[in-house]
């Protein structure tokens, strides 16, 4: 296969100031949960993208000084020379594949409370911390501004010395520089506040000083928001942004344009579709002749070409598409579009940053595991034996296990009880807003179709006897889980209906199977992720009066980590769904649902006809248990190896099921040392801890 000439434009080089990118694929800065804490993992992860054809690969936000520290969210840093060495690990690897490396310099201001360094954060005024820490900033005086400019300049020089080709001035996302630009926030009375010329002064100075510091070797990019805020129904309020942009337009070598609201810019697919920033980009290219990059969760090469040809942007910016498929450019280049692992827009990747743990991805189970497990997104060791593997269940876990085993060359049989493959993603993709989840199935199905050594058996509900009849050498059970009607009371699963009667109690499985309630309904959410809200939306769309209740203090608590919680709640409110927070469902008799307040037990009675329990799941482990029981309780007595993966092992998010299936495939005939299952990336103090500490300060 070769590249379709329609896509040639994506592979044309572009000059960006003093450097030239070989193509138009630009991995914009994105957080990874690795940053300065896990430099080896980070370097290998970015290297894989360079290998996969991205022309420019950027860091996450790079703190320029200890008074800008975001832990537990892990940033990169450019504080001292040891940071230069850490970044070198990455830039050398990126350059080895002919790509450019970019560093985004960052100062958090009122968004960083500096919980690790304990330095006082600086901002334009004594402002409250904007992400909820009870710490205010120090209002910057002239000395502070001079210091900031010096720190920025020194960080830029370090970036240059670390081998970066592009250095960013980061003026968006509510961080310090965005505040200086903002007419609503910047009420300073000196030459850095008031009229627009004054508010852009600091950004202008930093662009000029960064150019002066690195401009003959590195391009200087500016990240800038095309809007001030998102208005009603997503209509951007651009305010004076156009004039501001006009003022700064000639200064940098590259404009990286996004929007002020991160929750929309990086919106989940439920609310935000591919190319969503285009309406905001209207004025940008008409004002500057400097190269422009923007994002839009682009996975379709046709959309990318259209963006370039219509002059919306010059470079295809991507964070999530490059995470889901680090080889996206290489696959377009090779004309192998069916092999692209398209991002599903779930934002599980972002949860790594939210939780301060390494990045993971629903579609790409190797993401974050490149260094510590040696996993590559496209390459895998050949099979370790001429054996046959039976995979039972074609949900995310079973499909990924079968696909990766097939890639290794094993003879694989995938048996699925239903006609359609996909398991939970096939079912959930029918719910409001989740249609892109089907990509988890589509990618794997496409790949398996190309593998003569993988056979798929549909409508094959397997019993223990059936499994034995296959005479496989290895059997992996991936039969998933189903939603319970009970709830977990902190100690055990309990029924909410008197005497355990389950009349009018439904689960998400019932709703997905088309069994709908027919009167006022309570959706009771103990799961705390996206499904409770999605089920409530589906019932509301069917014309029902719906109340959403949860024992948590907020709607969709875990969705905070995927940056969608705020949008979920505002969406439910807009739909007219009533919300009850901090309340546990204690009883439902078919007419009244009794909710007890988590703080003191005050009871609220709701008159409803049906309750949908979105609580916990029960593993579908009958087959697994039958096989073990049949062997007298001793797995070793079976004529095949037996394993279970995914939700039938331990119910969790889709990403965990894909990962479990992949891991099974990797480790078959390649046992790992279970005492040391992965390489440990952390500061190595060497023989003399004191010496190492001093080294860190040089
Ligand atoms: P996971 O997320 O772990 O992949 P899913 O619930 O998405 O789990 O998928 C499990 C799949 O297993 C479903 O498609 C289901 O139809 C299938 N399945 C369950 N039991 C059997 C069985 N005994 N034989 C074949 N397929 C089964
Ligand atoms: Fe896309 Fe989800 Fe992967 Fe993030 S985790 S890159 S949103 S598929």
Token readout for 313 is 């942007």
343 alpha carbon, closest ligand: 2
What does the pLDDT read at residue 535? Answer: 98
Q: What is the mean pLDDT of residues 137-142?
A: 97
Tokens of 17: 């100031």
pTM beyond cutoff 0.85: yes
d(CA 200, CA 241): 11
Average pLDDT of the segment spanning 441-446? 98
How many separate helices (H) and strands (E) can be counted in the chain? 23, 32
Does residue 646 line the site of ligand 1, with CB under 6 A?
yes
Contact 62, 78 (CB under 8 A): yes
- Nearest 5°: the CA angle 10, 14, 18 is 155
Name which residue sits closest to atom 2 of ligand 2, judged by CA: 346
Band (pLDDT 50/70/90 cuts) for residue 521 is very high
Ligand 1 centroid to Cα of residue 371, in Å, is: 32
**Once rounded to an integer, what is the mean pLDDT over residues 385-407?**
99
Predicted confidence at residue 280, as pLDDT, reads 86
CATH numbers and ranges of domains, the chain: 5-355 (3.20.20.70), 388-480+620-667 (3.40.50.720), 483-618 (3.50.50.60)
Q: For ligand 2, is residue 345 a contact (CB within 6 Å)? A: yes
pLDDT mean across residues, the chain: 95
Q: What percent of the chain stands above pLDDT 90?
A: 90
Q: What is the tens place of the pLDDT at every residue in 4-36?
A: 999 999 999 999 999 999 999 999 999 999 999
- Dihedral (Cα; 626, 627, 629, 633), 10-degree rounding: -150
- Tens-place pLDDT, residues 614-626: 999 999 999 999 9
* Beta partners for residue 510, in sequence order: none
Query: What confidence score (pLDDT) does residue 698 get?
Result: 41
What is the β-pairing status of strands 592-597 and 583-588? antiparallel
Answer whether 461 contacts ligand 1 (Cβ < 6 A): yes
Of residues 695 and 506, more confidence is placed in 506
What's the token pair of residue 151? 């720190």
**For residue 400, what are the contacts with CB-CB under 8 A and spacing of at least 6?**
365, 444, 657, 658, 661, 662, 665
Q: How many CB atoms lie within 10 A of CB 594?
A: 16
Atom of ligand 1 minimally distant from the CA of 482: 6
Contacts of 403 (CB under 8 A, 6+ apart): 444, 447, 448, 451, 454, 665
pLDDT band, very low/low/confident/very high, at 237 (cuts 50, 70, 90)? low
Give catalytic status of residue 175 as yes or no.
yes
Separation of alpha carbons 86 and 681, rounded Å: 12
- The finding on whether 657 has its CB within 6 A of some atom of ligand 1 is yes
Which of 296, 303, 304, 339 is CA-nearest to residue 442? 339
Which residues pair with residue 136 across a beta bridge?
128
Longest Cα–Cα distance of the chain, Å, equals 83
Q: What is the pLDDT of residue 228?
A: 72
Q: pLDDT digits over 196-231, tens only?
A: 999 999 999 999 999 999 999 999 999 999 987 666
Residue 181: closest CA among 165, 169, 194 = 194
In which element (H, E) is residue 464 found?
helix 464-470
Average pLDDT, stretch 668-683? Answer: 89
> Is the minimum distance from the CB of 479 to ligand 1 under 6 angstroms?
yes
Q: Which residues, including other chains, have CB under 8 Å from residue 311's CB and lie 6 or more apart?
A: 285
Predicted confidence (pLDDT) per residue in 32-58, tens digit: 999 999 999 999 999 999 999 999 999
Q: Annotate 546-599 with DSSP letters as a single string.
A: EEEE-SSSSTTGGGGTTT-HHHHHHHHHHTT-EEE-SEEEEEE-SSEEEEEETT
Catalytic residue among 175, 192, 280, 437: 175
- 679 band by pLDDT with thresholds 50, 70 and 90: very high
Structure letter (DSSP) for residue 137:
P
- Long-range contacts: 133-137, Cβ < 8 Å, 24+? 137/109, 137/110
């Amino acid at each position: 296969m070769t590249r379709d000439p329609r896509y040639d434009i994506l592979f044309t080089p572009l000059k960006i100031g003093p450097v030239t990118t070989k193509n138009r694929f630009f991995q914009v800065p994105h957080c990874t949960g690795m940053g300065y804490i896990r430099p080896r993992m980070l370097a290998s992860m970015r290297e894989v993208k360079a290998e996969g054809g991205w022309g420019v690969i950027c860091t996450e936000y790079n703190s320029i000084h200890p008074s800008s520290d975001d832990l537990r969210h892990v940033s990169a840093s450019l504080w001292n020379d040891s940071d230069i060495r850490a970044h070198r690990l990455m830039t050398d690897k990126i350059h080895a594949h002919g790509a450019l490396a970019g560093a985004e310099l960052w100062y958090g201001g009122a968004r960083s409370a500096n919980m690790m360094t304990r330095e006082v954060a600086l901002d334009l005024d004594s402002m409250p911390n904007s992400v909820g820490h009870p710490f205010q900033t120090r209002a910057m005086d002239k000395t502070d501004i001079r210091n900031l400019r010096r720190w920025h300049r020194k960080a830029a020089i370090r970036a240059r010395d670390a081998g970066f080709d592009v250095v960013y001035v980061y003026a968006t996302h509510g961080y310090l520089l965005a505040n200086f630009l903002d007419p609503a926030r910047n009420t300073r009375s000196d030459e850095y506040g008031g009229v627009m010329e004054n508010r852009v002064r600091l950004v202008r100075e930093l662009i000029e000083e960064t150019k002066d510091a690195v401009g003959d070797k590195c391009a200087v990019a500016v990240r800038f928001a095309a809007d001030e805020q998102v208005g009603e129904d997503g209509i951007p309020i651009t305010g004076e942004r156009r004039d501001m942009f006009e003022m700064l337009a000639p200064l940098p070598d590259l404009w990286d344009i996004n929007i002020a609201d991160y929750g929309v810019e990086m919106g989940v697919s439920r609310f935000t579709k591919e190319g969503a920033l285009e309406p905001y980009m209207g004025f940008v290219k008409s004002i500057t002749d400097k190269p422009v990059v923007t994002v839009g969760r682009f996975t379709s090469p046709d959309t990318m070409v259209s963006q370039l040809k219509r002059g919306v942007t010059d470079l295809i910016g991507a964070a999530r598409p490059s995470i889901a498929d680090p080889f996206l450019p290489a696959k377009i280049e090779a004309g192998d579009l069916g092999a692209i692992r398209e991002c599903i827009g779930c934002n599980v990747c972002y949860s790594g940053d939210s939780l301060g743990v390494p990045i993971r991805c629903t579609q790409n189970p190797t993401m974050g595991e490149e260094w510590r497990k040696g996993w590559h997104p496209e390459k895998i060791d050949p099979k370790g034996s001429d054996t046959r593997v039976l995979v039972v269940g074609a949900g995310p876990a079973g499909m990924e296990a079968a696909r990766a085993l097939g890639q290794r060359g094993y003879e694989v049989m995938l048996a699925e009880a239903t006609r359609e493959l996909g398991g939970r993603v096939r079912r959930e993709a029918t719910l409001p807003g989740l249609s892109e989840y089907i990509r988890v199935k589509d990618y794997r199905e496409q790949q398996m179709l190309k593998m003569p050594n993988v056979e798929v058996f549909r409508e094959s509900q397997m019993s223990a006897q059936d499994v034995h009849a296959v005479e496989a050498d290895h059997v992996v059970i991936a039969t998933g889980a189903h939603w319970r009607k009970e709830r977990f009371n902190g100690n055990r699963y309990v029924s909410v209906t008197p005497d355990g009667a389950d009349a009018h109690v439904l689960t998400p499985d019932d709703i997905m199977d088309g069994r709908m309630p027919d009167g006022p309904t309570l959706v009771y959410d103990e799961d705390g992720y996206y499904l409770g809200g999605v089920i409530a939306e589906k019932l509301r769309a069917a014309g029902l009066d719906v109340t959403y209740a949860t024992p948590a203090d907020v709607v969709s608590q875990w969705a905070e980590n995927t940056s969608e919680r705020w949008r979920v709640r505002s969406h439910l409110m807009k739909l007219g769904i009533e919300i009850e927070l901090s309340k546990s469902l204690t009883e439902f008799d078919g007419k009244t649902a009794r909710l007890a307040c988590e703080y003191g037990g005050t009871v609220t009675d709701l008159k409803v006809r049906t309750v949908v329990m979105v609580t916990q799941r029960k593993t579908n482990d009958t087959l697994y248990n039958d096989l073990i029981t049949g062997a007298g309780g001793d797995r070793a007595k079976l004529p095949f190896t037996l394993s279970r993966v995914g939700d039938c092992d331990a119910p969790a998010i889709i990403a965990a099921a894909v990962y479990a299936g992949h891991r099974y495939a990797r480790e078959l005939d390649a046992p790992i040392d279970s005492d040391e299952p992965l390489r440990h990336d952390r500061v190595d103090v060497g023989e003399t801890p004191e010496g190492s500490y001093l080294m860190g300060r040089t």
